[in-house]
A and B are shown apart, each in its own frame.
Chain A
């Protein structure tokens, strides 16, 4: 169902990963689910839902095109991955990763897509080191530059996904755009918003997951409440200010370590900056983890995010990217199709509100 807006709505099939993994739906079932939610476009991970990957046959393409026609869908985006750590003791060279990355550009072209999501080195901002993991360079600016002529040849735009803790206004993203500017190929690369940058509190999906992993639910609910209080009163959440209250009810160093990714979060990225950068954005992940009883995403301010994108002049797709599944499915079946349906109702309302 088309929107009355420059913004179109789609679904990343990532949202239906459990339906696929557990064989409740095949690719066609996932496409039917997306179309049924009202999507006119989809994003696909080739190595999840195209079993022939990396060698996609013409007969697969014929069947795929037939399905897209049947469900009134277009392919918006193919997800690129930079699997450089291919072997235990050896990383792929830049030349090898270039060759692999071209697979995705060619696949996108074959599938009729306009974009690939490039897994670039700055997708989480500066390279993050995590416990037990020295950061590995993915696709840096120079390698992105080497991919641009292929994008031009195949008519594909590379979307630089800016995922929490980074956001589109992070200066670290600019190096990629500068390379393209110098080559006169800037129309083949652009910024991609991921709504994870705009989380203002821990999601109820995370509250459930962490509590099942052994963190006391009271701690999680108190943290969530304090984060919401801070956001709605226009302040930053500072964990150290809440810590004494948590310690009083038994919060330990071990809890602090388990929740380190939650506790570092102070505030959503700037809506003003999002508006300022919106016209440079080429693609958007409508990330969400849970939807509350009012039909709102429980830890992101969708109306504000949509307003910033619309006022800033974003033209293109927002695809639902439901990530609640991996946070909820340890407790039983997670109804991805229903979550995405509700998400599309919300996104349509947001578009109506500011048209």
Chain B
């Protein structure tokens, strides 16, 4: 359905604080025909230049809020916070030194639960230019 489009080429860049790179981010979109509660995210897995990103270093920003990625996976995460259909969810990887400016291979696996069918597993790989 949207597998080719879940990893966008928009807004990829390092995150800076006081003149230093402290991380980097990518923007992803949902693999479904409607928005889902963030608690229905089964997994967001990133590989950058072949290297798996440690999920514990990931933050998720959406609709003006920020969450630790690991918190989304807990069994008491709120059920009324939605990933809005068609809107980007920014995944921030906290990493000293950020990412080197230029082109990098990014692989995304996105798994979402939708109750009446098996968990939807989508993968998308792109060469993205990071600012």
Q: Write 21 A-B pairs (CB below 8 A) sorted by A numbering.
A: A17-B85, A21-B5, A21-B85, A47-B36, A47-B82, A47-B85, A48-B85, A48-B86, A49-B85, A51-B35, A51-B84, A53-B82, A82-B115, A83-B36, A83-B114, A85-B40, A85-B113, A86-B37, A131-B118, A133-B119, A138-B116
Contact of B1 with A329 in the complex, beta carbons under 8 Å: yes
Contact of B115 with A85 in the complex, beta carbons under 8 Å: yes
In the docked arrangement, what's the CA distance between A14 and B75, Å? 30
Say how far B108's CB is from chain A's closest CB, in angstroms: 17
Task: Assess whether A20 is interfacial by the CB under 8 Å rule.
Answer: yes
A132/B39 contact (C-beta < 8 A), A48-B34, A81-B34, A330-B3 known: no
Interface residues of B, dominant DSSP: loop
Say how far A71's CB is from chain B's closest CB, in angstroms: 21
In the docked arrangement, what's the CA distance between A85 and B36, Å? 11
A-chain residues with CB within 8 Å of residue B119 when the two chains form the complex: 132-133
Task: Assess whether B79 is interfacial by the CB under 8 Å rule.
Answer: yes
Interface residues of A, dominant DSSP: loop
Footprint of A on B, CB under 8 Å? 1-5, 29, 33-37, 39-40, 42, 63, 73-77, 79-80, 82, 84-87, 113-119
Contact of A17 with B33 in the complex, beta carbons under 8 Å: yes
Contact of B87 with A51 in the complex, beta carbons under 8 Å: yes
Q: Which of A22-62 contact B (CB under 8 A)?
A: 22-23, 45, 47-49, 51, 53-55
Q: Which of A45-95 contact B (CB under 8 A)?
A: 45, 47-49, 51, 53-55, 81-90, 92
Contact of B85 with A82 in the complex, beta carbons under 8 Å: no
Q: How many residues from A make CB contacts under 8 Å with B? A: 38
Contact of B85 with A83 in the complex, beta carbons under 8 Å: no
Q: Which of A20, A81, A86 contacts B86 (CB 8 A)?
A: A20
Contact of A45 with B117 in the complex, beta carbons under 8 Å: no
Say how far B102's CB is from chain A's closest CB, in angstroms: 27
In the docked arrangement, what's the CA distance between A326 and B120, Å? 14
Task: Assess whether A183 is interfacial by the CB under 8 Å rule.
Answer: no
A83/B40 contact (C-beta < 8 A), A51-B87, A330-B4 known: yes
Q: Mark A192-229, 1 if CB is under 8 A from B, else 0.
A: 00000000000000000000000000000000000000
Say how far B101's CB is from chain A's closest CB, in angstroms: 27
Task: Assess whether A119 is interfacial by the CB under 8 Å rule.
Answer: yes
